[in-house]
Amino acid sequence: MSLSQLPSGLTLNASKSLPLRVVRKDGLESSIAGIDSRARRFIEAQATPGKQFGDDPGEVLLLPGDEGLGGALLAVGDDRSPFPFGAIPMALPPATTWRLVPGDYDLQDAVLGAALGAYRFDRFKSRKSSPAHLAVPAGCDRAITIAEAVCYSRDLINTPANLLGPVELADAAVELAERFGARHQRVIGPDLEAGYPALAAVGAGSDRPAQVVRLYWGEDPSKKLIAICGKGVCFDSGGYDLKPSASMLRMKKDMGGAAIALGLARAIMALSLDVRLEVRIGCVENSISGHAMRPLDVIHTRAGKNIEIGNTDAEGRLVLADLLADASDARPYWLIDFATLTGAARVALGPDLPALFSNNDAMARDLLACGDRTADPLWRLPLWRGYAPWLDSSIADLNTVTQKPYAGAIVAALFLKHFVPDHVAWGHIDTYAWNDQDRLGRPEGGESLGLRAVLEAIEALATKLQ
């Protein structure tokens, strides 16, 4: 997986590029001011009664020129997100190059949207896609960096589980660390069992060895420490509490939290944000074997708590329990984890809204505001203390699940809260990490939901704390 290739759909070569005009809702006339009369007549001839071009985001209208194709219009409606620009690579003729005419839009959003819309996971296809390209003007390095981070995360999530197991995911984390000169440690074998016993118990059922990768970037102790943790369950069968086959179909994406955490780390390092960074990725597979954990087993955790296994399919919270306890020891200014943790979060909020839980209101406000600003929204759910007793165990300190059929995402977050001290500002993001269908800028498949929101918040925090 390349860490340096310009995202598909973008080019730095503007030669032979064609003009692309952006049209907002009710803004056709202003967008085509000064356009030649032939193109104007062409636009008027295609007008639909009762409808004006520009109202429907992603709609494209090609314009004639002396050599055939002379330009195009792109409708973005009243959508101020990057996503309408995702139409550029696939709605315009293949292999053409386009330059944006100045108008009522944000250039960074346009570049980011074009790259997000061009993305296709075609690694295993004999015939690759041939998108149109947007010529990137100077000053768009930030948008390119973010697009690279998102596409990197998407690639990891989309890779089949037979090709991306715990070792390969750990390899990706190590490669990322080496690319940006970050210190890193890979924890395996007896060291893993001693240091991350709950995580090791999850991975014990698989022939593919579990591992943890720790990444450290930035050495200046005066910089605020940001700690990121990611659930990296490369495939989740459910263990002995076996998932039904339909629920297993997308379980290659159960490492989506780790993929998003690594993509976020990549962007932080590439943008040289004024923080210190620690990343912890738990790389495991939840399988069935004679070594797999069983329902009602009791396992130990890094924090010293003993946990009763109420359901072997609630394995992600065990992975995170050890990672969060480890990260908390460093006393980070912010601690954020990403995980495809519960189906209950999707029932509550659907696929587009990751659930945010936080023990710190100021942190939560910053994350929510940045989610809105970047069109990468989060939705806060409560750490409702009244449900905490639902996790009581008669034989251990804590059960992994409750037998009550309610508030599954909240209960999972309350479980994690046991492993984060109150003095650490913590945010838990329960994300879907997937697009169920193709939409503008969001092709079907793996998705880095929450990455851009958290990046924006960390960038704003670093600026504020200087």
Summarised one tens digit per residue, pLDDT across range 203-261 is 999 999 999 999 999 999 999 999 999 999 999 999 999 999 999 999 999 999 999 99
pLDDT band, residue 38 (cuts 50/70/90)? confident
User: What's the gap between Cα 215 and its chain centre?
Assistant: 18
- What confidence tier does 32 reach under pLDDT thresholds 50, 70, 90? confident
Would you list the domain boundaries of the chain? 10-118, 146-464
Q: Are 201 and 308 in contact (CB under 8 A)?
A: no
pLDDT bracket for residue 431 (50, 70, 90): very high
> 243 catalytic, yes or no?
yes
What's the pTM value of the predicted model, to 2 decimals? 0.96
Q: Please identify which residue in the block is written with the tokens 């990322």.
A: 176
User: What letter does residue 273 receive in the DSSP assignment?
Assistant: -
Q: Is the pLDDT of residue 1 over 70?
A: no
CA 221 to chain centre: 28
Task: Say if residue 447's pLDDT is above 50.
Answer: yes
Active site residue 302: no
Q: Does the pLDDT of residue 380 top 80, yes or no?
A: yes
Please identify which of the residues 253, 317, 346, 442 carries the catalytic annotation. Answer: 317
Domain 10-118 has CATH 3.40.1350.10: no
Question: Taking a C-beta distance cutoff of 8 angstroms, is the pair 462, 334 a contact?
Answer: no
Residue 118 contacts by C-beta under 8 Å, 6 or more apart in sequence?
7, 8, 9, 10, 86, 88, 89, 90, 129, 131
Averaged pLDDT score across all residues of the chain: 95
Tokens of 358: 């936080």
Q: Within a 10 A sphere around the Cβ of 108, how many other Cβ atoms?
A: 16
Give the pLDDT of residue 47: 77
With cut-offs at 50, 70 and 90, classify the pLDDT of residue 68. Answer: confident
Question: What is the topology classification, in CATH, of domain 146-464?
Answer: Aminopeptidase (3.40.630)
Distance from CA of residue 173 to its chain's centroid? Answer: 15
Catalytic residue among 186, 208, 223, 243: 243
CA distance 220 to 155: 32
